[in-house]
Amino acid sequence: MSEKTEKPTAKKLRDAREKGQVAKSQEINATVQIGVILLWLIATGPSLQQGLTDTITATLDAVNLPLHTAMNQITGRIALLMMHFIFTLAGILVVSITLIGMLQTGFLFAPGALKVSADKINPISNLKNMFSMRSLFDLVKMLFKVSVLGLTFAYLIKRYAASFAHLPQAPIVTGMAVCVQLAQWMWMILLAVTAVFSIADYAVQHRQTMKQLMMSREDIKQEYKNSEGNPEIKHRRREMHREVQSGSLAGKVAKSSVVVRNPTHIAVCLHYAAEETPLPMVLEYGRGARALHIVALAEAHGIPVVEHIPLARALIRYTQPGDYIPESLLEPVAQVLGMIQKQLAQQDEGEDDDAEA
């Protein structure tokens, strides 16, 4: 069986996305939730404190009232408190989690992820998942959080033990202020810990997803063969054939100083002549099958082809055919052109030496 050593193609990534197989971290969602709750506590702290104080005071005052009257009074205050604070917080959390989910994966609706597969209900597969590295990471993460929060709570209790001892004699408003302040401190610690884990978790998720989507060279060849029957691919190939026949594509490739490629996915034609252009210029580029055609034409015309993955990706991302090279890419482009000129000079010297001999 071929070893999966190649990065996933754009089609592979699209197919995986349609199945819901994208890198996403639940820790990021948890961090956002904790951050929103902390901001909510800070923003509503005084009013929340006052609302809780009024509710407790009303409950104590209701002790001497008839049961029916006391229940109505207490229930009404609790309902108002929940509507004012809890429901508002719940709405904010729903909106924030929806937004952070879209930031992680974009607008994603993947019906394929809802399908029941044999692996999902296979007890052996589920048992393996229970003892996977992912499960171990989750266990360590949970234990670390509990430990940090436990130590923090113990430190605060010990540090302010004298103050807590006087709380029963203090007014209710003072007790509520202390509780709200304590909750804010605990939430800040939890936010810091969760934020660190969310970064690590997303990195692990992204690495695992890319590893699962890795392809062998045979996979890439098979994908290309399967795409032969795609009407869009056929249409694009006919357009490309007409371009080659008309000479427009072949002419641009022949005029190029160098073709920068990303092995099989991207090819960019660069042209630079000091007497013609003030800066290097992008003449043409292509992806997939078009990129392979450009490379083939370049080799047929004797145009140097350089494999430079980061530069090829940056060129196709930040430029269009006919654009001059942006300032941020001048240095790597100059290095490629300088390398080509040096190679050509060495070839000329070799030919001169052969002629003299």
Q: pLDDT tens digits for 267-322?
A: 999 998 877 888 899 999 998 888 888 998 888 888 999 999 999 999 999 998 88
Crossing angle (nearest 10°) for helices 248-255 and 289-301:
60
Cα–Cα distance measured from residue 259 to residue 79, given in angstroms and rounded to the nearest whole number: 70
Contacts with 21 (C-beta within 8 Å, 6 or more apart), sequence order: 113, 209, 212, 213
- Residue 58 clears pLDDT 70, i.e. is over it: yes
Stronger pLDDT, 141 or 33, i.e. the higher one: 33
Confidence at residue 105, expressed as pLDDT on a 0 to 100 scale: 63
Reported confidence tier of residue 228, pLDDT bands at 50, 70, 90: low
Structure token pair of residue 79: 């309902």
Greatest pairwise CA separation for the chain in angstroms: 120
Rounded average pLDDT over 86-98: 83
- Cα distance between the two ends of the chain: 52
Cα–Cα distance measured from residue 247 to residue 284, given in angstroms and rounded to the nearest whole number: 13
Structure token pair of residue 5: 């050593």
**Between the CA of residue 114 and those of 19, 111, 170, what are the distances in Å?**
9, 5, 55
Confidence at residue 241, expressed as pLDDT on a 0 to 100 scale: 54
Q: What is the DSSP string of 338-349?
A: HHHHHHHHHHHH
Indicate whether this model's pTM tops 0.85: no
Reported confidence tier of residue 114, pLDDT bands at 50, 70, 90: very low
Confidence at residue 149, expressed as pLDDT on a 0 to 100 scale: 80
- Residue 337 clears pLDDT 80, i.e. is over it: yes
Contacts with 73 (C-beta within 8 Å, 6 or more apart), sequence order: 58, 62, 65
What topology does CATH give the domain 250-355? name from scop (3.40.1690)
Number of Cβ within a 10 Å radius of residue 199: 13
Cα–Cα distance measured from residue 290 to residue 104, given in angstroms and rounded to the nearest whole number: 31
Nearest to 30 by CA among 165, 195, 162: 195
- Residue 159 clears pLDDT 50, i.e. is over it: yes
Nearest to 280 by CA among 335, 339, 334: 334
User: What is the tens place of the pLDDT at every residue in 232-262?
Assistant: 655 555 555 555 454 578 888 888 999 999 8
Nearest to 263 by CA among 231, 215, 230: 215
Rounded average pLDDT over 180-199: 84
User: pLDDT above 90 covers what percent of the chain?
Assistant: 10
Cα–Cα distance measured from residue 308 to residue 261, given in angstroms and rounded to the nearest whole number: 6
Confidence at residue 170, expressed as pLDDT on a 0 to 100 scale: 76
Strand ranges (DSSP E) for the chain?
Answer: 258-262, 266-271, 281-287, 305-307
Structure token pair of residue 135: 């499960």
Contact 327, 277 (CB under 8 A): no
Nearest to 258 by CA among 204, 336, 148, 169: 336
Confidence at residue 66, expressed as pLDDT on a 0 to 100 scale: 82
Reported confidence tier of residue 68, pLDDT bands at 50, 70, 90: confident
Q: Where are the domains of the chain?
A: 10-225, 250-355
Q: Percentages helix, strand, coil for the chain, rounded to the nearest 5?
A: 75, 5, 20
Stronger pLDDT, 130 or 198, i.e. the higher one: 198
Strand partners, 277: none
